[in-house]
Structure 1
Amino acid sequence: MSSDAAEVISIGQYIVRRLEEQGVQSIFGVPGSFLAQFCDDVESSNIKWVGECNELNAAYAADGYARYRRGLGVVATTVGVGELSAINGIAGSFAEELPVLHIVGQQKTADQEAGLNVIHTLGDGRYSALPYTCSQLLLSKVDIALGNADARIDKVIVDCISKSRPAYIALPWDLVDVEITTKRLTTKLTARDIPIDPDAEQAAIDHIYRRFDDAFSGELDNNVVVIADVSVSRHHCKDEAADFLAATNLPVYGTPLGKTVVNETSERYGGVYIGKLSSAEVKQKVETAKLVLFLGPLTTDFNSGNFSTNVKQERSIKLHFDHTDVGFATYSHTGMKVLLPKLAERLQVFKDKASQLDVPKFENKKVKDTDALIKHSWLWWRLAAWFEEKDLIVTEAGTVSYGVVDLALPKDSSLLAQKLWASIGWSMGGTHGATRARRELEGDGTQTILFIGDGSLQMTVQEISSMIRSDIKPIIFVLVNGGYTIERLQHSVDAEYHNIVTWHYGDLLKVLSRDQVPTQTYRVTKESELGNLLDVEKIRDKGIMQLVEIVVGRDDAPPALLRALGLDQPKGGEKGSNKVALRARHGWIGW
């Protein structure tokens, strides 16, 4: 097609073509009468419609899809009841900087113009809900009459992928099949580049070089360290960060949200820095360094040990996706993705000195299987020995997210968790979407492993059905203790409102699957039972969906969570007993 060729195409088909162009192969959603024509356009395309049991799960799945593929995810719902059911998931994607496009099938334009109280409205003339999005379009006949419907659709998609935030298109059902004439499909939509000022960039590089030169003058002892954080991944800079670390050989540390951003098995990786909750050696190395280089920092309560990080601004350099901070100086229009390769070239002269800096040994503790009841202090180290390279590991926002903090995860593994918005139940849909994205990108060669607490599972358990429908085969580990552990440990450990009904979780895969779909479930209470399951039965080799109930004590928790709550040391009485502390505790920590 020549660059000036025009094409006649319906509105619905135009949107689908743009989504195909972005590499979208799956759309998650729940159909509705106002969405049906658009669903027809999806089904006649190369994109798969992934039907969900409810809109919230669909939004979570689109989030996981966008999160893993680091590109556009799409959820489609009907107006009102559908979009509001999805809105919690969309809000999470906004908080965690993920490009999710929400397509909403609306009432026909005539009913909207007349303000009629038709189905799925509030009865007050309003026909949409628009919070938690960076860009919106409520498509109208005026857009079509003016000939700019295609341009307005394109703008929303470009905003979504450029800002890495959710966006919204409301699509009246009577406009889906309306044809437009457009030339715009001859040009692929791409994210807007971060505006770079070459002079500011060069000034930032020169300033950083001088700071490195000063830091490396004199004795070689803890001169410079790097902290790699989650925005490295969110803004597609993992390769640039790896190349930078290879060029400089600097000591590098991670954060809870930044786990698996860099290779945690490298000899130059020293562990996780979480402020006062860090190991003594990591805390000393980071907080006494002459200079700390942050890559993609994101300060949240969970990521900073409840804001207890102790690196003074004058000793820090922070590379962000759109600016750079060197001490108290800020260089606008300098982006981390473009800056890192240039910085690697300039700073590689310090590689020999950096190579002589000591790095704490970061490795997993070895544990043995006994006939003792399973406790978190044993559980996560045992699982760490079982993980393999390229595993996709998903953790729920509650207790289990703390279980992996202390672990050295395998090279090329991926850890996904929603820890800023922290909506419990997210991980079920997130696992579905992320695994579909991985299969589209890489095939079915690696394992997906989900860890979720029983309280979180009960929020979104229907997603098991959707995963089976998609032929997704994760291993689901359910931590069973009858309630909300973090809430118990924060306040009123014995309160009834923290408890839930304990289901027969082993029956779920039968109830939520179709006939003839092979599944398998297990229930373990002792260390030896789980060890046998991991090593002897080799559950990762079965190639079917499996669910493992791991029964733990009601008040038991991972060591990292106990540290965060100040419960890692007994408050009197018998060693290891936290009962008094639990009943007295009124602290707070984010989910």
Structure 2
Amino acid sequence: MSNSYKLSDYLLDVVKYMGANDIFGVPGDYNLQFLDHITHRQDLKWTGNANELNASYMADGYAREKGFATFVTTFGVGELSAINGLAGSIAEHVPVLEIVGAPTNEVQNNGALVHHTFGDHDFNRFENAHRQLGIKSARLNKDDAVNQINDIAKYIYESKKPAYLILPTNLVEMEVNPSLKDKIADLFIPASHNVEKAFHEIKDAINNSHNPVIIMGHEVDRFNLFEDIKNFSAQNNIPVLDLGLGKGNIDESFANFVGTYNGEISDETINAYVENADTVILVGAKLTDSVTGGFTQQFAENNTIAISYDGASIYGKAVDGDYHFASVMEELSNTTLDLSLPAVKANDSNNSLNPSDAKLTQSFYDQAIANYLNENNTLVAEQGTSFFGLASQKLTKGAKFFGQPLWGSIGYAFPAALGNQIADKNRRVVLSTGEGSLQLTIQEFGLAFREQLHPVMFVIDNTGYTVERVIHGMHESYNDVPGLNYGAMPNAFGASDDQYDFIEASTEKELIDAIEKAKVETDKFVLIQVNMDMQDVPEQLAKTAIAFANQNK
């Protein structure tokens, strides 16, 4: 490779500047030349995946820690394999860039019958599919490629949403001006926004309330608005709750944090804050069925002030004037209201456990996992028993949490957890997943051992798809899954004996012993098989399943 500056180099310099030090994906003949530009650099690492879907999940988990991620696929077969994961990133507002290596522009324009196509001369199908999903896309052309890259980069930076970029092979080695590298920082200078009118309208509305509460969603994390909410709440004694979609956005040891809200199925002490509020300040949130107890939230548009990336409204009416999400939140951060509210009395929950030789239950498991976490842990919960049981647990100071309750793609959590672990190896990821979910993406054990990752992984073995069982078909065969030998997995996927520890827990004491061992074995991948009864489900899942079942009637 020559020392001249190529379009690929510029694209990768932009990616690096945006915060991605690791690039995921799968090689294919349309992206191999581009991959050379990654592997020949000292400041970027290529981390190849077992398949493209796993790459998209892993990038999503990485971006939730780093604020941005990139993965690379080949045209057609590769990008369609990944599209489910990228769809999850747009559903849950995660900034991920997919780079697709594609046939030359000449081949595409001529409609040649090349491999990885439908053989129908149409090269627009796959890009159109992504556009149909609302994913910003660009097919680079030689006359405007740099501007197209810049446009995509600025979009991701400003919106925190995913995007899709097609890199034809004829542009990979295209010479560009080396001085472009010096101008990359200019792409990310924040624009100034005059939000005074919108801000004062929101402030006045809150001032006219008597008993407000704040409920946070996932966009608080994407736009780094934790401190703004903390400051606003602390200065004005406003209780703060989060939703499962957005949990872990704020330090849950914060004095004014009172719990994770999930509609009517939340604990009564948490519900009381919402029921007694005359105004709910909804920040960066989507009120989806999975995090509102099946749409049982105790507030409506006529007592909600909604502030989010897409706009703001006060009791159902859009605010006037220029609006910008982060700018409005920054203004609120420094605001002292005219209200005189009493100090928030947070719920002091006692999570002490007294383990016995009793058979392990979901309730004990959820509390034990919550107690295990420290400020250097990120808890990742697969949708199902793991998410519904753990999302209601209060996090210790500094601990983080995420799942995928809106998109809810089965198998997401394992690769997402590994991506999150790669993003920050100084934090230790704790993953809770079910054996049914794991079987969809189990191939990434190979990557975990190859990259010498040391997460703690709990696999709940309860003989099948328990979340589906409680919705419908408790004893139907379609909710069964094959029983696997998890203790054999590490060696089968290339681990040496000193790289991992496998522990099986079926009683309360065995789980606590396994957790204590995992705390000490920080230099190993700790895999813990947790055995529980088929019909043992978290209380919130049991209640939510009824709502899900009713939606499907």
What is the rounded CA distance, in whole Å, between the counterparts of 2:376 and 2:323 in structure 1? 32
Relative distance call for 1:87 and 1:533 in structure 2 (3 A) is same
Contact 2:93 2:161 in 1 (8 A): yes
Listed as ranges, the matches of 1:101-500 within 5 Å are 101-127=97-123, 129-130=126-127, 131=130, 132=133, 134-139=135-140, 143-144=141-142, 146=143, 148-181=144-177, 183-188=179-184, 190-191=187-188, 196=193, 198=194, 201-216=195-210, 223-331=211-319, 333-348=322-337, 350=339, 353-354=340-341, 356-439=342-425, 444=426, 446-500=427-481
The equivalent of 1:534 in structure 2 is 515
Shift of 1:11: 1.9
SS of aligned partner of 2:214: strand
The equivalent of 1:577 in structure 2 is none
The equivalent of 2:72 in structure 1 is 76
SS of aligned partner of 2:319: strand
What is the rounded CA distance, in whole Å, between the counterparts of 1:539 and 1:390 in structure 2? 12
The equivalent of 2:532 in structure 1 is 552
Contact 1:392 1:448 in 2 (8 A): yes
- Would you say 1:49 and 2:29 are equivalent positions? no
What is the rounded CA distance, in whole Å, between the counterparts of 1:78 and 1:51 in structure 2? 13
Contact 1:194 1:335 in 2 (8 A): no
Deviations 1:477-512 (A, max 9, x none): 000012111111111211011101010011111111
Contact 2:456 2:518 in 1 (8 A): no
After superposing on structure 2, the runs of 4+ consecutive aligned residues of structure 1 that deviate more than 6 Å are: none
Shift of 1:349: 5.1
Contact 1:231 1:298 in 2 (8 A): no
Shift of 1:182: 6.3
Contact 2:6 2:173 in 1 (8 A): yes
Deviations 1:392-451 (A, max 9, x none): 111111221001122111112111211111101111111121111123xxxx2x321000
SS of aligned partner of 2:326: helix
CA RMSD of aligned residues (A): 2.3
Shift of 1:358: 4.8
Normalised by the length of structure 1, the TM-score is 0.86
Contact 1:133 1:167 in 2 (8 A): no
Contact 1:364 1:381 in 2 (8 A): no
Relative distance call for 1:159 and 1:212 in structure 2 (3 A) is closer
Contact 1:270 1:362 in 2 (8 A): no
What is the rounded CA distance, in whole Å, between the counterparts of 2:34 and 2:352 in structure 1? 54
Relative distance call for 1:138 and 1:291 in structure 2 (3 A) is closer
Relative distance call for 1:429 and 1:192 in structure 2 (3 A) is farther
Shift of 1:360: 4.6
Relative distance call for 1:479 and 1:210 in structure 2 (3 A) is same
The equivalent of 1:576 in structure 2 is none
Shift of 1:18: 1.6
Deviations 1:208-264 (A, max 9, x none): 444444434xxxxxx222222222112221122222223223211221223222222
The equivalent of 2:89 in structure 1 is 93
Relative distance call for 1:210 and 1:179 in structure 2 (3 A) is closer
What is the rounded CA distance, in whole Å, between the counterparts of 1:271 and 1:371 in structure 2? 31
2:360 partner letter = I
2:507 partner letter = K
Relative distance call for 1:192 and 1:80 in structure 2 (3 A) is farther
What is the rounded CA distance, in whole Å, between the counterparts of 1:150 and 1:360 in structure 2? 52
Contact 1:209 1:347 in 2 (8 A): no
Shift of 1:334: 2.3
SS of aligned partner of 1:473: coil
The equivalent of 1:580 in structure 2 is none
What is the rounded CA distance, in whole Å, between the counterparts of 1:359 and 1:437 in structure 2? 36
Deviations 1:441-487 (A, max 9, x none): xxx2x321000000000000011111222222111100001211111
1:94 partner letter = I
Q: Which residue, 564, 567, 580 being the options, matches 2:544?
A: 564
Using the TM superposition, name which of 110-119 and 163-172 deviates more. 110-119
Identity within the alignment, %: 28
Deviations 1:261-283 (A, max 9, x none): 22222332221222211222322
State how many pairs are aligned.
542
Deviations 1:554-575 (A, max 9, x none): 11111211222359xxxxxxxx
Deviations 1:332-386 (A, max 9, x none): 5323321223224332554xx32x2553515253332111111112211122222
- Would you say 1:65 and 2:62 are equivalent positions? yes
Contact 2:361 2:536 in 1 (8 A): yes
1:415 partner letter = F
Identify unmatched segments of 5+ residues in structure 1.
1-6, 217-222, 568-584
What is the rounded CA distance, in whole Å, between the counterparts of 1:287 and 1:62 in structure 2? 39
Using the TM superposition, name which of 357-366 and 276-285 deviates more. 357-366
What is the rounded CA distance, in whole Å, between the counterparts of 1:486 and 1:508 in structure 2? 24
1:265 partner letter = S
SS of aligned partner of 1:74: strand
Contact 1:364 1:407 in 2 (8 A): no
SS of aligned partner of 1:187: helix
SS of aligned partner of 2:289: coil
Using the TM superposition, name which of 187-196 and 236-245 deviates more. 187-196
The equivalent of 2:485 in structure 1 is 504
Contact 2:262 2:297 in 1 (8 A): yes
Normalised by the length of structure 2, the TM-score is 0.92
What is the rounded CA distance, in whole Å, between the counterparts of 2:417 and 2:259 in structure 1? 26
